[in-house]
Structure 1
Amino acid sequence: MTRRDFDPAQMSSSDFYQLLTAVVVPRPIAWVSTTSVEGIDNLAPHSFYTVASVNPPIVQFTSVGKKDSLRNIQSQGEFVVNLTPASLFEQVNATGTDFPAAMSEFDAVGLSRESSTVVAPPRVKDSPVALECRLHSTLELGDCTLVFGTVVYAVVSTSVLDGDHPQIGLLEPLSRLGRNEWGTLGSIQELRRIRAKDWPGHFRAAGQGE
């Protein structure tokens, strides 16, 4: 295998960013809805997103630069993470447009709001999942801000549930790849994790003799 070297110290930050986002894939998308002090509902996709803690339940997304989502969260202390289904592909992409802060992406893109149960910002009505969050903390790293939100309420459409469990094939989540590329679910494979005691062959714990 022939490899090419990429040294971030010898590259512009934007060029290395393009490399990182092309190889750290696929990335789930936090479709973040917030409300400003003036009462404007903002909605924007953030593709640096993950679960940060199980107990308490905390999700995390990264704001690259100081965007409306971040400003609203820091001033109001609440936000909603909506799942981005493939059926709303065009709308998800459109909410990434740099509209002025006084314009609501809900209205510009034509998405319906739904009142949240615990927090003030609305949910995306046609998204099958919404996590209502209160700001836990933020962490600034370079030109980015990591936003940690405690999940205080969650709703899932019954149309994507098998009993109490959301079905991935019904959720059909979008993901971000490199450049202007997006990912859809594709084929699904199931594979159970193997516990050490079930490992095939003559497994020996570290330090254990024959």
Structure 2
Amino acid sequence: MRTDFNPHELTSRDFYRLLTAVVVPRPIAWVSSTSPEGVDNLAPHSFFTVASVSPPVIAFTSVGAKDTLRNITTTGEFVVNLASAGLQAEVNATGINFAPDVSEFDEAGLTRETSKTVNVPRVAESPVSLECKLHSTLPVGNCFLVLGEVTHAVVASDVLRGTHPEIGLLEPLSRLGLDEWGTTNSLGELRRIPVTDWPGNVER
């Protein structure tokens, strides 16, 4: 037995709650930006992914035209910081709807770190930061897809194994449904199978 949900018969809010409960887990883009007036903004966005490998482009969605979007479209720069489990309280605090002239860095007690390729600060406490130049934005319904080309990446040395970030040390946070959050407390490995190793594969 299944239950049907028609997006045209529900409020957009109710269907949004359904989507965010089933499109899970969602990584968090902890985006820092700077307003034209020089106010450093920091906000979590849980619609986040890689959009291109070459050039390296990442994408996140702004639900509505918020301070982050306005800053990025004006300055053309931003930084995506990794939201790790040890920073959950701070990540959550930066989601508060503060006035545009209030910096979430200061409200959450976070440290600014100078970036190398953009004029937007990184979160010093975050183990990974991706500096980005705005590639493009795309309005989609009541949201805006923001694409940024990664111009520099920095990773805390103590979460690296060689040159590879170790997921168990990064401890990334994810968003689930309602007020639920996820962590990587259970990890497993499964090798991707080449088609040549698939039983019954017939060469064509």
Q: Same fold per TM (> 0.5)?
A: yes
Give 4+ residue runs of structure 1 displaced > 2 Å after superposition. 202-205
Q: How far is the alpha carbon of 1:199 from its aligned partner?
A: 1.1
In structure 2, how many angstroms separate the alpha carbons of the residues matched to 1:125 and 1:203? 50
Task: State how far apart, in whole Å, the 2-side matches of 1:26 and 1:138 are.
Answer: 24
Q: Which amino acid aligns with 1:10?
A: E
Larger radius of gyration: 1
Alignment of 1:69-148 (within 5 A): 69-148=68-147
Cα RMSD of the aligned pairs, angstroms, is: 0.8
1:22 — aligned with what?
Answer: 21
TM-score, L = length of structure 1? 0.96
TM-score by length of 2: 0.99
- 1:21-74 Cα offsets, whole Å, 9 max, x none, are 000000000000000000000000000000000000000000000100000000
User: Residue 202 of structure 2 corresponds to which residue in structure 1?
Assistant: 204
Aligned match of 1:186: 185
Q: Which residue of 2 aligns with 1:47?
A: 46
SS of equivalent residue, structure 2 residue 8: helix
CA drift of 1:203 comes to: 2.3
Partner of 1:9: 8
- Equivalents in 1 of 2:192, 2:42: separation in Å? 37
Alpha-carbon offset, residue 196 of structure 1: 1.1
The offset of 1:204, in angstroms, is 2.6
Task: Name the aligned partner's letter for residue 81 of structure 2.
Answer: N
Partner of 1:172: 171
Q: What is the number of residues matched between the two proteins? A: 204
CA deviations 1:117-158 (Å, max 9, x no partner) are: 110010000100000000000000110000000000000000
Matched position secondary structure for 2:185: coil
In structure 2, C-alpha distance between the alignment counterparts of 1:163 and 1:204, rounded to whole Å: 39
Query: What are the ranges of 5 or more consecutive residues in structure 1 without an aligned counterpart?
Result: none
The separation in 2 between residues aligned to 1:14 and 1:27, in whole angstroms, is: 18
> Percent of pairs identical after alignment?
64
What is the identity, as a one-letter code, of the residue corresponding to 1:194? I
**CA distance in structure 2 between the partners assigned to 1:203 and 1:129 by the alignment:** 41
User: The residue matched to 1:132 in structure 2 has which SS?
Assistant: strand
The 2-side partners of 1:110 and 1:121 are apart by: 17
Which amino acid counterpart does residue 170 of structure 1 have in structure 2?
A: L
